[in-house]
Amino acid sequence: MSLKAESVSPDWFKHKRADKNLIVNPVIPWLMIGFPVLILVAIVIYPTIWMGYHAFQNTNMMKLFYQDWEYIGWQNFATVLSDDRMWDSVGRLIQYLIFGACLEVLLGTILALTLFELVKSQLARVIILILLVLPMMLPPSIVATLWKFLLQAYNGAVNHLLIKIGILGPMERIEWLDAGLSLWSLTMVDVWQWTALPLLIVYSGRVSLPPAIYEAAKVDGASQFMVLRRLTLPLLKEIIAIAFIIRFMDAYKFVDKVYVMTSGGPAQSSELPVFIAFQKGIREVEIGEAAAYAWIIFAVAMVLITLFLKYLKKVLKAQTFA
Amino acid sequence: MAELELQSICKAFQHPVLDRLSLKVPQGEFFVIVGPSGIGKTTLLRCIAGLENLDGGKILFDGQDVTNVPPYQRGAAMTFESYALYPHKTVFENIASPLVAAKTEVTEIRRRVQDVTKLLQIPHLLERKPHEISGGQKQRTALGRTLVAKPKVYLLDEPISHLDAKIRAELRIQFHTLKELREVATVYVTHDYAEALSLGDRIGVMGDGGLVQIGTGREVFDQPNSLFVAQHLGQPTINVLDGQLQKDNEDLVFKSDEMQLPVSRELANKLKNDSGREVKIGLRPQFIHCLSEWENDKDLPVFSFQAEVELNEALGSYGVLLVKAMGKSLTVITSPEIHYSPGQKVELSIETNRSLYFDAQNGMNLGTDLTRMEADG
């Protein structure tokens, strides 16, 4: 005889389960899902398929107008990949990622930990955080416009300030948005706006670390530097990485400030891949080539995001029990 | 040579927690602080470790004032009730961390960590991370991290409270024999009175504002200076009855409603002018006996009374009887072999010379010397 307990539902329970107190017209769920699906199809799925199709056609403005494009195989991709303009922009993207995203995360981490260690009053912390986060609250196009004015070579406030404090002579000017400096200026503006995000992420991570282990470290005799190097940074490693991933993904599609401040110029010196795709597709109406651009960008993003998600999964798994 | 001295230290949060607390723990002494939760035991340890700033008073290690010395230079080792293990480090790294901070040689670190883990029976866990081990193992890791250091003062905050009974008993014995603990001063906090009585060279019972009584285990158990101490030490809790001292012919008696208990001669002499005074009587359950269990070779007690059993708990090594006698509820410790059923009538006797009398207002023990109490508290 088996000793396994049989699970027999009592009658009242069966009765309760059989009770259909929510009677819904079967059409309603379909309607509720249907509308969002339709919208998605209209603005995302259809254009994506359309783009996929045109990446293999020789579509441009005239051909689109007369609807007589034809299949040309992988030729669009070949054009894009052999274009120096594309490879130059990839180089600039890497430069931007290293000096933009990394600097933002580095500065954000330093600021967050300094804020936590030095400012002990909760009110002061909140006020400082709000001040630091303000730039992030502005729309990127506004920030870009603002800085475009500030960085004007002649009437710009930045140069004016530099002359005032004597770094520049009275007749000297820095051409912030000139070919040599434009990408650096863009990076600087982006750092100004987005440092607050890693700051917030790292700060909240630091706040959530248990104070008891810091006390234990103090009693153990660890110096401030040791606590930072052996406790705080290893424990915040994953959180800093997540902050970097978020900034990286943003940076990858960085186009707004480029568009407003330099339009990729002068002489295409501040173009980034996404901006070129936009330029090709919307300005030059080289639909086929722009579609190929978009596919390449999409494919690289897929690879990167897969790697990031894999990393995130590992992090989450490690943190479940901690 | 390591000695801890507290000179009237004060610490307040919203209300005063430590009020002019003074204490001297000589080298090699195992000083146990026992008290109800939330009374400030942990705060006291944190003050000694330097994690809290004092509002007044001085802390001396070895005669040196360390009141304003930061915790990492004080030379105290502390266990935390929440373990406070470093989550990203292995058990080995956790235990080794005070040695690493002190820049000890690698071979020496390895040797000492191994010694400690052997003692705590966790050598098989060295490579695991804190989230991979059980609560009891975490607690032993935390204890290991404390024991591995060579501090001037050990501060142990309920270090074995979450272990299972068997390991707890083993570690309790280890604490008695550990020579590291005998070289320095140790302050040990617990809420378990049995642990306190077992381990403490001296015991400090903590009440509001500081240590209510300091003494050896026997002293605080047999001669509690106040009702608070008497109620806190002992399991089952001491029976407390409200009543009055009255003159019955020439003898002093304790009277509470229908109950009338003779006061021991020694105490009656001391309190002979206190007839009519409101008092509380403390009767330890082990000093109330069922006459049916009375052993023949002992003299029969002079005083006995009838009671009715309400509840009988057989706890293995002893039984706990809840009885009603003369309108009062009493707890009695009995032999575990005899079964009592609710409603049964039993004849009880009280060792009246072991009764404790407390002032009804301030709870002070009327039997102890007033001069002693002042010295303690």
The total number of residues written for chain A in this structure? 322
pLDDT by 10s per residue, chain B, length 377: 588 999 989 998 888 888 888 999 998 889 999 988 888 899 999 999 999 888 988 999 988 899 999 888 888 899 988 888 998 899 999 999 999 888 889 999 999 999 889 888 889 999 999 888 888 888 889 989 998 988 889 999 988 888 888 888 888 888 888 777 788 889 999 988 888 888 889 999 998 888 889 999 888 888 888 899 998 888 888 999 888 888 877 778 888 877 788 887 778 888 777 778 888 889 899 888 887 776 665 666 667 788 889 888 888 888 888 998 888 888 998 888 888 888 888 888 888 888 888 888 888 888 775 434 444 43
> What integer pLDDT is reported at residue B377 of this predicted model?
39
Joined together, the tokens standing for residue B188 give 């040990």
In a domain, A222, yes or no: yes
* Position A203, amino acid: Y
Phi, psi of B283 (to 5 degrees): -120, 110
Residue A284 has pLDDT above 80, yes or no: yes
Distance, CA of A288 to chain centre: 27
The tokens of A143 are what?
Answer: 């920030």
Tell me the nearest-neighbour CA distance from A106 into chain B, angstroms. Answer: 22
Taking the C-alpha atoms of residue B86 and residue B99, their distance in angstroms, rounded to an integer, is 15
CA B215: distance to chain centroid? 11
From CA A199, how far away is CA A136, in angstroms rounded? 11
Query: Distance between CA atoms of A241 and A239, rounded to whole angstroms?
Result: 5
Beta-strand relationship, B64-65 and B56-61: antiparallel
Distances (CA, A) of B40 to B8, B18, B296: 15, 7, 48
Residues of A in contact with B46 (CB under 8 A): 215
Whose CA is closest to A134, among A252, A142, A184? A142
Distance CA A77, CA A124 (A): 55
Q: Which fold has domain B2-232?
A: Rossmann fold (3.40.50)
Chain A residues at the B interface, defined by Cβ less than 8 Å, are 210, 212-213, 215-223, 226, 231, 234-235, 321-322
Report the interhelical angle of A233-252 vs A102-118 (nearest 10°). Answer: 140
Q: How far B52 CA lies from chain A's nearest CA (Å)?
A: 10
On whether the CB atoms of residues A161 and A168 are closer than 8 A, the answer is no
A257-279 pLDDT, tens digit per residue, is: 888 888 777 777 778 888 888 88
Distance from CA of A217 to the nearest CA of B (A): 8
| CB contacts, 8 Å: A213 with chain B | 84-87
Of A215, A321, A322, which is closest to B84 when you measure between CB atoms?
A: A215
Determine, for residues A213 and B86 on separate chains, whether the beta-carbon distance falls below 8 Å: yes
- A26 is a domain residue: no
Is residue A18 a part of any domain in this protein? no
Radius of gyration of chain A (CA): 28
Cα nearest neighbour of B153 on chain A: A219
pLDDT at position A7 over 80: no
Q: Which residue has the tokens 């930061």?
A: B70
B-chain CB neighbours of A322 within 8 Å are 87-88, 130-131
Supply φ then ψ for residue B298, to 5 degrees: -90, 150
pLDDT bracket for residue A36 (50, 70, 90):
very high
Reported as type and span, the H/E element at residue A301 is helix A287-320
The pLDDT value given to residue B372: 42
The residue of A215, A219, A237 whose CB has the most chain B CBs within 10 angstroms, and thus the best one to mutate to test that interface, is A219
| Contact assignment for A231 to B102 by CB distance below 8 Å | no
| Mean of per-residue pLDDT scores for chain A | 84
Smallest Cβ distance to A219: which of B76, B86, B87?
B76
Q: Both tokens of residue A255?
A: 């186009």
The minimal CB distance from A220 to the residues B51, B83, B101 is found for B101
State the CATH number of the domain containing residue A289. Answer: 1.10.3720.10
Q: Is residue A170 part of a domain?
A: yes
Q: How far is B146 from chain A (nearest CA, A)?
A: 8
The residue of chain A nearest to residue B96, with distances taken between CA atoms, is: A220
Measured between CA atoms, the residue of chain A closest to residue B149 is A220
Classify burial at B170, counting beta carbons within 10 Å of its beta carbon; exposed 0-12, middle 13-18, buried 19 or more.
Answer: middle
Measure B189 CA to nearest chain A CA, in Å: 17
Which of B51, B84, B101 lies nearest to residue A213, judging by beta carbons?
A: B84
**pLDDT classification of A46: cutoffs 50, 70, 90:** very high
What pLDDT, in 10s, does the model give residues A210-235?
888 898 898 888 888 888 988 899 88
Set of chain B residues whose Cβ sits within 8 Å of the Cβ of A212:
80, 82-84
> What are the extents of the domains in chain B?
2-232, 240-369
Q: How many residue pairs from chains A and B have C-beta atoms closer than 8 A?
A: 69
Please tell me the predicted confidence (pLDDT) of residue B102. 86
In terms of Cβ atoms closer than 10 Å to its own Cβ (0-12, 13-18, 19+), residue A116 is middle
3-state secondary structure of A48: helix
Nearest C-alpha neighbor of B156 from the set B59, B2, B11, B45: B45
Residues of B in Cβ contact (< 8 Å) with A210 = 82, 84
3-state DSSP call for residue A94? helix
| Option in B51, B97, B98 nearest A215 (CB) | B51
> Which ipTM did the prediction report?
0.75
Residue A38 in tokens = 């339709």
Nearest-angstrom CA–CA distance, A319 and B65:
43
Tell whether pTM > 0.90: no
E strand or H helix that includes residue A55: none
A261 falls within a domain: yes
Question: Which pLDDT value is given to residue B255?
Answer: 83
Contact B85, B98 (CB under 8 A): no
Instruction: Give me the mean pLDDT over the A136-141 stretch.
Output: 89
> Which phi and psi angles does B89 have, rounded to 5°?
-110, 155
Tell me if A218 and B88 make a contact (CB, 8 A cut-off): no
Residue A113 belongs to domain spanning: 85-321
Cα B27 from Cα B185, distance rounded (Å): 5
Buried-state track A160-175, b at ≥16 Cβ within 10 A, e below 16: eebbeeeeeeeeeebb
At B153, which helix (H) or strand (E)?
Answer: strand B153-157
Indicate the pLDDT class of residue A282, thresholds 50, 70 and 90. confident
- The CATH number of B240-369, from 2.40.40.20, 3.30.465.10, 3.40.50.720, 2.40.50.140, is 2.40.50.140
Q: Is the pLDDT of residue A322 over 50?
A: no
Residue B200: closest CA among B213, B214, B217, B182 = B217
Mind telling me how many Å the CA of B36 is from chain A's nearest CA? 22
**pLDDT at A127 (0 to 100):** 94
Query: Cβ(B43)–Cβ(B49) under 8 Å?
Result: no
Write the pLDDT tens digit of every residue in A79-95: 888 888 888 888 888 88
Total domain count, chain A: 1
Confidence of residue A17 (pLDDT cuts 50, 70, 90): low
Is A69 a domain residue? no
State residue B298's pLDDT score. 63
State the DSSP string of B219-261.
HHHHS-SBHHHHHHSSSSPPEEEEEEEEEETTEEEEEETTEEE
Work out the average pLDDT over A101-105. 91
Name the pairing type of β-strands B239-248 and B278-283.
antiparallel
Q: Is A241 exposed, middle or buried (0-12, 13-18, 19+ CB in 10 A)?
A: middle
B245 CB-contact burial (10 Å; exposed 0-12 / middle 13-18 / buried 19+): buried
Nearest C-alpha of chain B: how many angstroms from A237?
Answer: 10
